[in-house]
Amino acid sequence: MTRISFILWALMLVTWCAMRYPAMRRARRQKTRVDRRSTLDISLLVLCTVGLVVLPILWRLHAFDGFADRGQGIIPLILGLLSGIAFLWLFRRSHKDLGKNWSVTLEVREGHQLVTQGVYAHVRHPMYASFLLWGVTQALLIPNWIAGFAGLAAVLALYAVRQSREEAMMRDTFGAEYDAYSARTKRLIPGIF
């Protein structure tokens, strides 16, 4: 069961990479108008890479030598598969809706527009929501207390730090239009939070 869980996790990682690559190539061609990247921002992105990618691979390579392993059942495997499908769908949809406005860091592009359609009509931060789903997926599929939950912890830290800074940047850029958008949408979960 552990092998199947890891294979599912790895397939989701490869799918995520395949989805992210075109957006990253497109973003490199876009000129940046506002850049609010910081050392903390970059450090948190590195932490997410370690938590979501490196630690599960190290776990599978037996670097933990069984430390903090837990049993893997069929229920977590099925729930992990379902949350992984939701993660990949939301991630793809977020990228598609953002188009040329997407950036991996806190940046506003030349000609940047406030996106309020698609999944952005329901939540302001669907990309973060997708990453939180990735963290949940990993916690369900990687049966190790450290490698399984490291991604979720890293994404929560990233969200806690960046969310307010990102919203401030959007307010500075779009003013009352962003305030009106914020008033009618929730941050991560439609109608709830």
pLDDT for 109 equals: 87
Q: Could you tell me which residues come within 8 angstroms of residue 171 by beta carbon, excluding any fewer than 6 positions away? A: 178, 179
Helical packing angle, 145-174 and 176-184, nearest 10°: 140
Instruction: Report d(CA 190, CA 90) in Å as an integer.
Output: 13
pLDDT for 61 equals: 97
Is 116:176 a contact under the CB 8 Å cutoff? no
pLDDT for 150 equals: 98
The model's pTM is 0.94
Cβ neighbours of 33 (radius 10 Å): 12
Instruction: Report d(CA 139, CA 143) in Å as an integer.
Output: 7
pLDDT for 30 equals: 81
> What is the greatest pairwise CA distance in the chain?
55
**H or E element: which one contains 150?**
helix 145-174
pLDDT for 26 equals: 83
Is 181:114 a contact under the CB 8 Å cutoff? yes
The tokens describing 7, both together, are: 């294979």
What tens-digit pLDDT sequence spans the chain (193 residues)? 899 999 999 999 999 999 999 988 887 788 888 888 899 999 999 999 999 999 999 999 999 999 999 999 999 999 999 999 999 999 999 999 998 888 888 999 888 999 999 999 999 999 999 999 999 999 999 999 999 999 999 999 999 999 999 999 999 999 999 999 999 999 999 999 9
pLDDT for 34 equals: 85
